[in-house]
Amino acid sequence: MHLLFISSNRIGDSLINLQVLNKYIRKNKKNIEVTLVSGSLPMPIYDDYTMISKRVILTKQKYNLHWFKLYKELSAFRYDEIVDFRSSLIGYFLRVKKRNIFRMKKSKNIYEQIHHKFDTDLKKDFKILTDRVRNIFPNSNYACLAPFTNWAPKEWPT
């Protein structure tokens, strides 16, 4: 299976998206090849993922020109499935068998929306290895995760 995984541009959002990538890996075992599209800040989160065959850092440009550049880079390939957390149109222009374009509803909790759309298992799929955290914060002995956000839909469900 060749998966195109378009993650969020920020570290916190990418950590939320990580549970979906973990689910695809768990379900497909070793029969998965991933093309990852992400911003530069969260890219180190994925360093330990050996099944990622191509990593594309998406740098935003004026007039959304970054999407045209990305299309040129990815259009030569065929994908079995796309998971797009940026709700972009690119998945509709690429050769893809199955599209999973995540469109967040601002009035609902994001964790519940992701779980509902992708049927993730919080105990099996939401993993962050400490080595990944160390790659992001190489000169620190601590990584703190705050149990709150500045936006209600991103708060952890109670």
Sequence ranges of the domains in the chain: 2-154
pLDDT tens-digit readout, 89-134: 998 999 999 999 998 888 887 778 888 889 887 677 766 655 656 6
Q: In what order do the strands lie in the sheet with 52-57?
A: 52-57, 33-38, 2-6, 78-84, 95-101
Residue that wins the pLDDT comparison between 157 and 30: 30
- Beta-carbon contacts of residue 150 (< 8 Å; ≥ 6 apart): none
Which CATH number describes the domain made up of 2-154? 3.40.50.20
pTM of the model: 0.81
pLDDT tens-digit readout, 11-21: 888 888 888 99
